[in-house]
């Protein structure tokens, strides 16, 4: 809160109505001057603007797909950080294959967007990541490469996205992050980590057991919870991230991680499930276009809340699509707002409708999302 000095000529009538400045306090001499119709020196109290929130976008660019870059270009004033999927550890020795995109870097530099290259274990290979993490020498080699690449590229930091880490490697993953943070943090480089969603800590859980929230949070700047894939590509159809699931996941995360480090993942994508087998990823645009082509009425699940529909494929087999809309996104953002989560991370840029960015801009600004924008539609009707 700041105080500014201002000279205002106030009539007694305006002062007594209380519509002159609407601020306090007024010094006693100033009050007497006002009542006498004389100019008064007032201390004007100006409310500090709400703190801005972070908007982190994952940039995955399949060959020939212009949508991700266009999403960054159109929304560069709203995005604060980019995590492009440019780096991979390609073998069990920890060798990193790194690439970049000059056009993305130029745009990010122009707009003041921090670039944090995402480093993954290629193909989310369990054996590969195990071989690296259990070896102090290989961990050090990976960290050496990260440091060199960050400095050479002028990047602001790194995003670690190790997935399918065996739960038995929990202590080794924590050791890697501690060693990485000790190397990079004193140099002013950001260290961020993507972690699978969970509602409690189960060290033997196949997908999330390796991720010790409490200890990992001590070795990073941003702790990015992938609060989505409630229903995944090889599972049964359903919402990608119901607000009930998101609340449970973020409640646990907030109990284990300092809130100022928390980042809540939000999905822009959906899925198209067959009766059996793997679902296809769907963008908002593809989901709408397919529903129109198949003349499938789009339904609204108020509890999720999310949009969905069913249709018959070319062989007459039923398929089910669940996808995100502006309204479902607003519901997720409201959860982050209510829980005072200081930022979101989006998988992935380019999957969205242009309308998504208005509530995201409101969220980033620190302003309160208007309650009336949260879904009010009934089941069976798209709001």
Percent of the chain at pLDDT above 90? 82
| pLDDT tens by residue, 236-279 | 999 999 999 999 999 999 999 999 999 999 999 999 999 999 99
Distance (Å, whole) CA 287 – CA 281: 10
Residues 350-363, buried b or exposed e (16+ Cβ, 10 A)? bbbbeebbebbebb
| 158 to 95, 113, 185, 336, 347: CA distances (angstroms) | 16, 14, 11, 24, 17
Q: Residue 36's pLDDT is what? A: 47
Do 257 and 198 form a contact (C-beta atoms < 8 A)? no
Q: Residue 10's pLDDT is what? A: 33
Distance (Å, whole) CA 321 – CA 268: 14
Q: Where are the alpha helices (DSSP H) in the chain?
A: 12-17, 28-35, 67-74, 102-111, 126-133, 136-153, 170-184, 213-217, 243-256, 284-293, 326-338, 357-365
For the chain, the average pLDDT equals 89
Q: Give the chain's radius of gyration (CA, Å).
A: 25
CA atoms within 13 A on the CB side of 277: 7
Distance (Å, whole) CA 44 – CA 22: 9
Q: Residue 63's pLDDT is what? A: 86
Could you identify the residue written with the tokens 């980042």?
263
Distance (Å, whole) CA 335 – CA 316: 39
| pLDDT tens by residue, 309-365 | 999 999 999 999 999 999 999 999 999 999 999 999 999 999 999 999 999 999 999
Comparison of pLDDT for 58 and 20, the residue scoring more: 58
19, pLDDT greater than 90: no
Closest to 268 in 3D by CA, of 306, 295, 225: 306
Q: Residue 381's pLDDT is what? A: 54
Q: Residue 46's pLDDT is what? A: 52
Question: Binning pLDDT at 50, 70 and 90, where does residue 383 land?
Answer: low
| pLDDT tens by residue, 139-196 | 999 999 999 999 999 999 999 999 999 999 999 999 999 999 999 999 999 999 999 9
| Triad 234, 55, 371: Cα angle to 5° | 85
Query: What is the maximal distance between C-alpha atoms in the chain?
Result: 88
Domains defined for the chain, CATH in brackets:
2-46 (no CATH), 54-271+325-373 (3.20.20.80)
Closest to 52 in 3D by CA, of 362, 323, 294: 362
Q: Residue 379's pLDDT is what? A: 58
Do 350 and 231 form a contact (C-beta atoms < 8 A)? no
DSSP 177-198: HHHHHHHHGGGT-EEEEEEE--
| pLDDT tens by residue, 58-115 | 999 998 899 999 999 999 999 999 999 999 999 999 999 999 999 999 999 999 999 9
377, pLDDT greater than 60: no
Do 84 and 104 form a contact (C-beta atoms < 8 A)? yes
Question: Binning pLDDT at 50, 70 and 90, where does residue 50 land?
Answer: confident
Query: What's the length of the chain?
Result: 383
Q: Mapping DSSP to helix (H, G, I), strand (E, B) and coil, where does residue 123 land?
A: helix
Closest to 348 in 3D by CA, of 52, 53, 70, 64: 70
Task: List the catalytic residue out of 97, 106, 156, 163.
Answer: 163
Could you identify the residue written with the tokens 């009538």?
13
Our answer to whether residue 163 is catalytic in this structure is yes
Could you identify the residue written with the tokens 């990193």?
96
Bridge partners (DSSP) listed for residue 345: 56, 265
CA atoms within 13 A on the CB side of 235: 9
Q: Residue 22's pLDDT is what? A: 35
Distance (Å, whole) CA 210 – CA 129: 12
Do 322 and 244 form a contact (C-beta atoms < 8 A)? no
Q: Which two tokens stand for residue 184?
A: 């990079």
């Amino acid at each position: 809160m700041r105080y500014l000095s201002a000279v205002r000529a106030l009539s007694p009538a305006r002062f007594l109505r209380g519509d002159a400045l609407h601020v306090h306090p007024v010094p006693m001499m100033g009050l007497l001057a006002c009542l006498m119709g004389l100019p008064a020196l007032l201390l004007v109290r100006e409310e500090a603007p709400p703190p801005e929130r972070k908007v982190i976008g994952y940039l995955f660019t399949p060959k020939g797909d212009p949508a991700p870059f266009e999403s960054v270009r159109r929304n560069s004033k709203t995005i604060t950080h980019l995590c492009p999927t440019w780096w991979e550890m390609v073998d069990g020795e920890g060798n990193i294959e790194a690439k970049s995109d000059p056009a993305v870097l130029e745009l990010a530099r122009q707009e003041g967007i921090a670039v944090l290259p995402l480093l993954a274990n290629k193909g989310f290979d369990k054996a590969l990541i195990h071989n690296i993490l259990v070896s102090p020498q290989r961990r050090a080699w990976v960290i050496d490469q990260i440091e060199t690449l960050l400095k050479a590229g002028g990047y602001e930091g790194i995003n670690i996205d190790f997935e399918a880490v065996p739960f038995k490697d929990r202590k080794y993953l924590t050791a890697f992050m501690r060693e990485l943070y000790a190397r990079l943090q004193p140099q002013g480089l950001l260290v961020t980590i993507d972690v699978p969603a969970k509602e409690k800590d189960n060290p033997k859980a196949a997908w999330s057991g390796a991720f010790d929230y409490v200890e990992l949070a001590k070795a990073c700047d941003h702790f990015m919870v992938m609060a989505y894939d409630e229903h995944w590509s090889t599972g049964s159809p359903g919402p990608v991230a119901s607000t009930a699931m998101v609340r449970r996941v973020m409640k646990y995360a907030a109990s284990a991680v300092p809130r100022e480090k928390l980042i809540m993942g939000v999905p822009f994508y959906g899925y198209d499930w067959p009766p059996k087998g793997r679902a296809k990823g769907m963008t908002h645009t593809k989901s709408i276009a397919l529903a129109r082509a198949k003349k499938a009425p789009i339904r609204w699940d108020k509890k999720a809340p999310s949009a969905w529909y069913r249709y018959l494929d070319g062989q007459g087999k039923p398929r089910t699509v669940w996808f995100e809309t502006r309204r479902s996104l607003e519901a997720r953002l409201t959860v982050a707002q209510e829980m005072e989560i200081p930022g979101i991370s989006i998988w992935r840029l380019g999957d969205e409708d242009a309308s998504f960015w208005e509530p995201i801009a409101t969220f980033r600004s620190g302003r309160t999302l208007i309650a009336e924008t949260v879904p009010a539609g009934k089941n069976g009707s798209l709001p």
